[in-house]
Amino acid sequence: MERLLRRSWIVPPAVVLVSADAFRAIGGFTPGLRFVEDLDFYLRLSRHTDAAEHQAVIAEYRMHPGGGGGGNVADNQELLLQYLAEQATWTAADPILERARRDGLASWQREIDRVNRYFVLRDRAQKRRWLAAVPEGVDLAIHHPRSLRDVAGLWARAIRPRTRSTPGSR
**Segment 42-70 mean pLDDT:** 72
**pLDDT at residue 148, as a whole number:** 65
CA 115 – CA 55 distance, rounded (Å): 28
- List, for residues 104-128, the tens digit of each pLDDT value: 999 888 888 877 877 888 788 788 7
CA 120 – CA 125 distance, rounded (Å): 9
- Quote the mean pLDDT of the chain: 78
**pLDDT at residue 151, as a whole number:** 62
